[in-house]
């Protein structure tokens, strides 16, 4: 059986979102050969999806990292296994290949947290960032009535994006109570850039009601439209619309890090001052290392890229910030403080745990309802006895939901960490060691 | 525990074998306590294929497999929906004339003992399973072999045992067996006339000298492709892989689940304690499977995992008294036939406890045969 | 990036901007139900980023492809639940499929 294709580099970067682009640029600037793998059709991650063609200003200087001669982007590539420290396996539509690397920087970002409620599985109900991603990839929403609901400042960005594409955003429903959000808004004076962002959002969305302390309790489908029932804790009312874009914050994509042997703490990848994880030579940056937004992702990406390059050149020398540029360290500190403030302000209320009815689907891949899960002792028992988490999403959607609903923790991951073709999985066991030539790509 | 009378039998280990023993004993009116260190049905029971197959490599294997298969059949209508009991049958695949002759001999042997079996030539094989590659010689169809999902059967068996008075404790690890006492990690003790050890490959940890070794296996499950494969497909060389004690081997073994997913196996490794997925072994196993079903290559694999079978030196399970330890009954060492032979094992264990005759001879499985042999 | 791409969705010709996702093409065809769940409920994309697997459709004969993560190509053949793609077996005896809010 012929060996699968392989590429070699000094630094492997997983994820071509803001953090990954920052890391790639920093590592290449320090003299490393860099391979960037990203599972989307193009670079930019979620925030800058389609930014290449939409020429988004903020993204351009970071996307420029991909122009560096020592940086190679392989798009549409999903990392699924790691056969040795220094050898990762990825799959594209064309097949599987190995990436031999000395250091890795993991920037797999975050996904949205979905809280099950009656009707959340109807077509027309999607995530908030989810609908934004679909729209950026060409889904038309012009003239459609959209209710944006859930939690977090992300809802503003989503509403603006939808409006830009001609949607009628009927309202934004934020579950966090008014008092907390107002305090957070007042605190933005500590981050003037964020204040400016917020003001710009507000200006762009004048005329779109922003209801605080408000959340959805049910979506019902009609022939060609949806009825969304909202509540503010005192009364309920229905809103007729075409789409509901709803998500309750973000969950770090920690699976690639688990695959690389990194310790996870508090739902994010544990990193030291140089963004190094507990796995030697493996760094992490961006949302996966802590949900703190764009500025943190960029600062952390730069630090991780420099640290990965440094380690390559001189050998790792301890978890200090020595040698890292002071301005970037300052940016990271400030951005993380913003992230903490955000997490506090938009923490999810207990009411959301009571939305699901006994027959509300919790595991969408296998149609497992809340009633089947409520009596289970934990995640593993639920998986084995109800099939929850046994579908193609591998528990990414229902695992976060059951953690929120029942406090269950998900257990370790095994390869393949994404569904892959059987011949790709076979290829993983047939890699010659780095230095022995397989066909190159 | 202090308010109820002490048990007559303590079953240590609630995998499919332990659960079946507890169920059988409770049905017969024996007071049973079950102690499971982790999640009932969460060990090898959850890792295996759930294939109920009448294997016939040798006489004792055939007898216990046939007995157990018939007991599964009888129980099937009562099983819960999650058990997904189905009867796709097993189709043993022959690659050449030599294997086809072996298949013909097995067919005659099955029929002579009341097991439905049918020979297929190359054409019939291709019609029965279009996904198989061209150029195969034919096969042996055993239409009444079944497939089940054991992690849903175990809780049901334990519930049925509870209804008849059994006490079942999960998360209760037994630290030592001292005479007729099972002493748990938390210091508590359970004393009973009989202790049934059904902990699979971990048995020697509790009773040193029990001749079982861990034999690691890999499995992969795919997304849903209904109708792609209709029967459980096994290469005729599988029996060699299962019975030989070579340190590692793979054999083609693919099962259609009622969901339309395919379960792809099989691999065996002795002397490996690490439960991590071994990509080299996985590749060998998957390549072997693709040799028989080329179309497997493009199917999506959702998960891969490992499990440890309990292997004995002679390939027969250990069912019966452990010499020198009054009241201790072993119910382990089932290698790759644990699901199939769970109910036959339970029947033999209950027969020993109740001092009644068994429908098949017990001698070939008695642990005494191996006492003193090096595992 | 100003080209157009033509592909078929459930047998109908649909034109999209070059670089658009298969999910966008399906939406352009007016289709909201991409696939049926294992108990027969209609489903469409949820996460838009390749995580939830609710947007699975058959592309050029290959089932379980993620529409949201696949860029349209000229002549691509997309089949959604309306084409019976893929024919997903039910899980065996169980409740009849429900299409109301759950």
For position C88, what pLDDT does the model report?
A: 40
Cβ atoms A201, A160 nearer than 8 A: yes
- Does A397 contact C21 at a Cβ distance shorter than 8 Å? no
The side-by-side arrangement of strands in the sheet containing A103-106 is A71-75, A34-38, A11-14, A103-106, A282-284
Please state the rounded mean pLDDT for residues B58-82: 97
Structure tokens that stand for A322 in this block: 């020595």
Instruction: Give me the sign of the Cα torsion angle A392, A393, A394, A397.
Output: negative
Using a CB–CB cut-off of 8 Å, the residues of A that contact B are 1, 81, 83, 377, 380-381, 384-386, 390-392, 394, 414-416, 419-423, 425-430
In angstroms, the separation between the Cα of residue A202 and the nearest Cα of chain C is 25
Flag whether residue C82 sits within 8 Å of chain A, measured between CB atoms. Answer: no
Task: Express as a percent the part of chain B with pLDDT over 70.
Answer: 98
CB atoms within 10 A of CB C40: 15
**Count of alpha carbons within 13 angstroms of residue B301, beta-carbon side:** 29
- Does C68 contact A133 at a Cβ distance shorter than 8 Å? yes
Set of chain B residues whose Cβ sits within 8 Å of the Cβ of A420: 300-301
In what helix (H) or strand (E) does residue B127 lie, and over which residues does it extend?
helix B122-128
Instruction: Tell me which of 1.10.760.10, 3.20.20.120, 3.10.20.440, 3.40.50.1370 is the CATH number of domain C4-82.
Output: 3.10.20.440
Please state the rounded mean pLDDT for residues B90-119: 96
Please state the rounded mean pLDDT for residues B38-54: 97
Q: Where are the alpha helices (DSSP H) in A205-325?
A: 255-259, 294-314
Collect all residues with Cβ–Cβ distance below 8 Å to A352 and sequence separation of at least 6: A115, A175, A215, A248, A404
- Does C46 contact A133 at a Cβ distance shorter than 8 Å? no
- Does C49 contact A118 at a Cβ distance shorter than 8 Å? no
* CA torsion angle B226 B230 B231 B234 (round to 10): -80
Which residue is closest to C34 within chain A, CA to CA? Answer: A123
With contact defined as 3+ CB pairs under 8 Å, the chains touching A are B, C
Q: How do the pLDDT tens digits run along chain A, 441 residues long?
A: 456 699 999 999 999 999 999 999 999 999 999 999 999 999 999 999 988 877 788 999 999 999 999 999 999 999 999 999 999 999 999 999 999 999 999 999 999 999 999 999 999 999 999 999 999 999 999 999 999 999 999 999 999 999 999 999 999 999 999 999 999 999 988 888 888 888 888 888 888 999 999 999 999 997 679 999 999 999 999 999 999 999 999 999 999 999 999 999 999 999 999 999 999 999 999 999 999 999 999 999 999 999 999 855 444 444 466 778 899 999 999 999 999 999 999 999 999 999 999 999 999 999 999 999 999 999 999 999 999 999 999 999 999 999 999 999 887 889 999 999 999 999 999 987 776 554 554
- Does A121 contact C43 at a Cβ distance shorter than 8 Å? yes
Set of chain A residues whose Cβ sits within 8 Å of the Cβ of C69: 39-41, 76
Measured CA to CA, the distance from residue B63 to residue B109 in angstroms comes to 13
Q: Which of B50, B25, B136 is nearest to B336 (CA)?
A: B50
Please state the rounded mean pLDDT for residues B155-182: 97
- Does A394 contact B305 at a Cβ distance shorter than 8 Å? no
Judging by beta carbons within 10 Å of its beta carbon (0-12, 13-18, 19+), is residue A211 exposed, middle or buried? middle
Cβ atoms A253, A394 nearer than 8 A: no
Cβ atoms A46, C55 nearer than 8 A: no
Residues 20-39 of C with CB under 8 A from A: 20-21, 23-25, 27-28, 32-34, 37-39
Cβ atoms B79, B151 nearer than 8 A: no
Who among B86, B258, B300 is closest to C64 (CB)?
A: B300
The pTM (predicted TM-score) of the whole model is 0.94
| Three-state DSSP class for residue B301 | strand
- Does C91 contact B86 at a Cβ distance shorter than 8 Å? no
- The residues facing A132 across adjacent strands are none
Measured CA to CA, the distance from residue C67 to residue C35 in angstroms comes to 11
- The residues facing B309 across adjacent strands are B215
For position A356, what pLDDT does the model report?
A: 98
Structure tokens that stand for B231 in this block: 């029967």
Measured CA to CA, the distance from residue A210 to residue A197 in angstroms comes to 16
Structure tokens that stand for A202 in this block: 């507000």
Which residue is closest to C92 within chain B, CA to CA? Answer: B258
Residues 341-400 of A with CB under 8 A from C: 359-361, 364-367, 369, 391-393, 396-397
Structure tokens that stand for A314 in this block: 């001189």
In what helix (H) or strand (E) does residue A96 lie, and over which residues does it extend?
strand A95-100
Q: In whole numbers, what is the pLDDT of chain B averaged over residues?
A: 95
Residue B137: alpha-carbon gap to chain centroid = 29
Identify each DSSP E strand in chain B by its residue range: 9-12, 32-36, 51-52, 90-94, 118-121, 138-142, 146-147, 167-170, 174-178, 181-184, 189-191, 194-197, 213-224, 232-235, 248-256, 261-270, 300-311, 318-321, 328-332
Q: What share of chain B is helix, strand, coil (3-state, %, to 5)?
A: 35, 30, 35
**In this model, does residue C101 exceed pLDDT 50?**
no
For position C90, what pLDDT does the model report?
A: 30
Which residue is closest to A134 within chain C, CA to CA? Answer: C48
For position C102, what pLDDT does the model report?
A: 37
Q: Which of B351, B97, C32, B216 is nearest to A124 (CA)?
A: C32
Measured CA to CA, the distance from residue A159 to residue A162 in angstroms comes to 5
- Does B283 contact A423 at a Cβ distance shorter than 8 Å? no
- Does C89 contact B86 at a Cβ distance shorter than 8 Å? no
First and final C-alpha spacing in chain A: 18
- Does A422 contact B286 at a Cβ distance shorter than 8 Å? yes
The full set of domains in chain A, from first to last, is 6-111+251-343 (3.50.50.60), 115-248 (3.50.50.60), 350-432 (no CATH)
Cβ atoms B160, B34 nearer than 8 A: no
Judging by beta carbons within 10 Å of its beta carbon (0-12, 13-18, 19+), is residue A352 exposed, middle or buried? buried
* Cis geometry, peptide bond prior to residue B266 (ω within 30 degrees of 0): yes
In angstroms, the separation between the Cα of residue A387 and the nearest Cα of chain B is 9
In what helix (H) or strand (E) does residue A239 lie, and over which residues does it extend?
strand A236-241
pLDDT in tens, B203-253: 999 999 999 999 999 999 999 999 999 999 999 988 777 777 778 999 999
Which residue is closest to A132 within chain C, CA to CA? Answer: C48
CB atoms within 10 A of CB A120: 25
pLDDT in tens, C10-47: 999 999 999 999 999 999 999 999 999 999 999 999 99
Phi and psi angles of residue A225, each rounded to the nearest 5 degrees, phi first: -150, 175
Domain ranges of chain C: 4-82
- The residues facing A71 across adjacent strands are A34
Q: Which of A125, A192, A130 is nearest to A158 (CA)?
A: A130
For position B243, what pLDDT does the model report?
A: 77
In angstroms, the separation between the Cα of residue B63 and the nearest Cα of chain A is 31
Q: Which of A366, A439, A351 is nearest to A398 (CA)?
A: A366
For position C96, what pLDDT does the model report?
A: 32
Q: What is the ipTM of this complex?
A: 0.93
Q: At what angle do helices B16-27 and B338-354 cross, to 10 degrees?
A: 40
With contact defined as 3+ CB pairs under 8 Å, the chains touching C are A, B
Cβ atoms B24, B211 nearer than 8 A: no
Measured CA to CA, the distance from residue B368 to residue A84 in angstroms comes to 45
**In this model, does residue B3 exceed pLDDT 60?**
no
For position A318, what pLDDT does the model report?
A: 45
Set of chain B residues whose Cβ sits within 8 Å of the Cβ of A386: 82
């Amino acid at each position: 059986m012929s060996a699968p294709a392989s590429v070699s580099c000094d630094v492997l970067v997983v994820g071509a979102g803001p953090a990954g682009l920052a890391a790639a640029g920093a590592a290449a600037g320090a003299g490393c050969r860099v391979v960037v793998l990203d599972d989307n059709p193009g670079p930019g991650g979620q925030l800058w999806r389609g930014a290449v063609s939409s020429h988004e200003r903020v993204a351009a200087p970071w996307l420029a990292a991909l122009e560096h001669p020592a940086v190679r982007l392989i798009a549409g590539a999903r990392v699924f296994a790691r056969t040795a420290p220094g050898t990762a396996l990825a799959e594209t539509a064309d097949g599987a290949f190995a990436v031999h690397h000395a250091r890795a920087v993991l920037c797999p970002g975050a996904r949205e947290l979905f809280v099950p409620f009656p009707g959340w599985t109807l077509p027309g109900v999607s995530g908030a960032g989810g609908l934004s991603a679909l729209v950026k990839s060409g889904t038309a929403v012009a003239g459609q009535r959209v209710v944006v609901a859930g939690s977090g400042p992300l809802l503003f960005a989503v509403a603006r994006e939808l409006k830009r594409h001609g949607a009628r955003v009927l309202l934004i429903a934020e579950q966090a109570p008014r008092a907390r959000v107002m305090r957070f808004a007042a605190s933005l004076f500590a981050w003037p850039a964020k204040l400016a962002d917020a003001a710009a959002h507000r200006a762009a969305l004048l005329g779109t009601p922003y209801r605080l302390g408000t959340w959805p309790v049910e979506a019902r489908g009609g022939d060609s439209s949806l009825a969304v029932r909202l509540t503010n804790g005192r009364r309920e009312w229905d809103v007729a619309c075409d789409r509901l874009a709803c998500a309750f914050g973000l969950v770090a994509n920690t699976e690639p890090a688990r695959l690389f042997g990194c310790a996870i703490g508090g739902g994010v990848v544990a990193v030291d001052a140089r963004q190094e994880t507990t796995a030697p030579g493996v760094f992490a940056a961006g949302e996966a290392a802590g949900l703190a937004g764009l500025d943190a992702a960029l600062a952390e990406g730069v630090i991780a890229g420099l640290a990965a390059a440094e380690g390559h050149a001189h050998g790792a020398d301890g978890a200090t910030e020595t040698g890292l540029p002071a301005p970037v360290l300052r940016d990271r500190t400030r951005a993380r403080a913003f992230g903490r403030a955000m997490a506090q302000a938009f923490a999810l209320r207990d009411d959301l745990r009571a939305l699901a009815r006994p027959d509300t689907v919790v595991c969408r891949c296998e149609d497992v309802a809340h009633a089947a899960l409520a009596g289970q002792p934990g995640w593993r028992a639920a998986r084995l006895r109800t099939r929850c988490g046994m579908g193609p999403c591998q528990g990414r959607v229902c695992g976060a939901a059951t953690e929120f609903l029942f406090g269950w923790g998900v257990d370790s991951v095994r390869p393949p960490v994404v569904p892959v073709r059987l011949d790709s999985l076979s290829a993983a066991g047939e890699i010659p060691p780095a230095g022995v030539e397989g066909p190159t790509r | 525990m202090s308010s109820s009378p002490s048990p007559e039998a303590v079953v240590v280990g609630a995998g499919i074998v332990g659960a079946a023993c507890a169920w059988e004993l409770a049905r017969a009116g024996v007071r049973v306590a079950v102690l499971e260190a982790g999640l009932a049905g969460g060990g090898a029971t959850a890792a295996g294929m759930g294939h109920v197959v009448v294997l016939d490599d040798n006489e004792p294997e055939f007898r216990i497999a046939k007995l157990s298969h018939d007991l599964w059949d009888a129980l099937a209508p009562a099983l819960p929906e999650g058990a997904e009991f189905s009867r796709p049958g097993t189709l043993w695949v022959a690659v050449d004339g030599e294997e086809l002759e072996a298949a013909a001999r097995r067919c005659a042997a099955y029929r002579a003992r009341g097991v439905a079996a049918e020979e297929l030539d190359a054409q019939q094989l291709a019609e029965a399973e279009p996904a198989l590659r061209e150029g195969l010689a034919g096969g042996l169809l055993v239409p009444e072999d079944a497939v089940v999902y054991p992690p849903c059967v175990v809780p049901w068996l334990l519930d049925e045992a509870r209804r008849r008075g059994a006490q079942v404790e999960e998360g209760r690890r037994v630290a030592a067996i001292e005479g007729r006492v099972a002493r748990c990690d938390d210091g508590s003790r359970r004393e009973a006339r009989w202790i049934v050890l059904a902990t699979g490959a971990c048995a020697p940890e509790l009773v040193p000298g029990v001749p079982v070794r861990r034999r690691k296996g890999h499995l992969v499950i795919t997304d849903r492709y209904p109708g792609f494969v209709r029967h459980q497909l096994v290469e005729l060389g599988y029996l060699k892989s299962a019975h030989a004690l070579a340190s590692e081997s793979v054999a083609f073994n693919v099962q259609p689940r009622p969901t339309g997913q395919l379960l792809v196996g099989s691999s065996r490794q002795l002397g490996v304690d690490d439960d991590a997925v071994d990509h080299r072994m996985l590749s060998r196993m998957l390549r072997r499977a693709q040799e028989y079903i080329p179309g497997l290559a493009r199917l999506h694999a959702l998960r891969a995992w490992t499990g440890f079978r309990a292997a004995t030196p002679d390939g027969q399970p250990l069912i019966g008294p452990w010499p020198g330890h009054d009241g201790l009954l072993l119910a382990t060492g089932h290698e790759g036939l644990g699901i199939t032979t769970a109910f036959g094992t339970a029947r033999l264990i209950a027969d020993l406890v109740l001092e009644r005759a068994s429908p098949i001879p017990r001698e070939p499985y008695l642990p005494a045969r191996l006492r003193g042999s090096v595992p | 990036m100003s080209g157009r791409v033509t592909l078929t969705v459930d047998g109908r010709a649909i034109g999209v901007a070059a670089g658009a996702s298969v999910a966008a093409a399906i939406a352009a065809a007016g289709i909201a139900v991409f696939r049926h769940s294992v108990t027969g409920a209609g489903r469409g994309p949820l996460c838009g980023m390749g995580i939830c697997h609710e947007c699975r459709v058959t592309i050029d004969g290959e089932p379980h492809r993620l529409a949201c993560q696949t860029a349209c190509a000229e002549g691509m053949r997309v089949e959604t639940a309306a084409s019976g793609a893929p024919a997903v077996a039910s899980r065996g005896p169980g409740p009849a499929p429900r299409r109301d809010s759950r």
